Amino acid sequence: PKDNSKNVMRNLHIRKLCLNICVGESGDRLTRAAKVLEQLTGQQPVFSKAG
């Protein structure tokens, strides 16, 4: 078998990761979910409502 370690296509690069969460209601559950996302990512979550 030939050596595939020099093949650049074998290297994985993650450029973007999108996390979505649905809590089904506002209030305490939404606040706790936002805190979890903030702890996981180190960024402020962006809120949006289904239209």
Residue-wise pLDDT tens digits, 6-28: 888 888 889 999 999 888 888 89
Q: Decide if 6 contacts 16 (C-beta within 8 A).
A: no
Residue 1 has pLDDT above 80, yes or no: no
CA distance 24 to 47: 13
Residue 41 has pLDDT above 70, yes or no: yes
Percent of the chain with pLDDT over 70: 88
Residue type for position 50 = A
Written as six digits, the tokens of 26 are: 């506002």
Report the chain's mean pLDDT, rounded to a whole number: 86
Res. 4 pLDDT band, cuts 50 70 90:
low
CA distance 51 to 42: 28
CA distance 50 to 5: 46
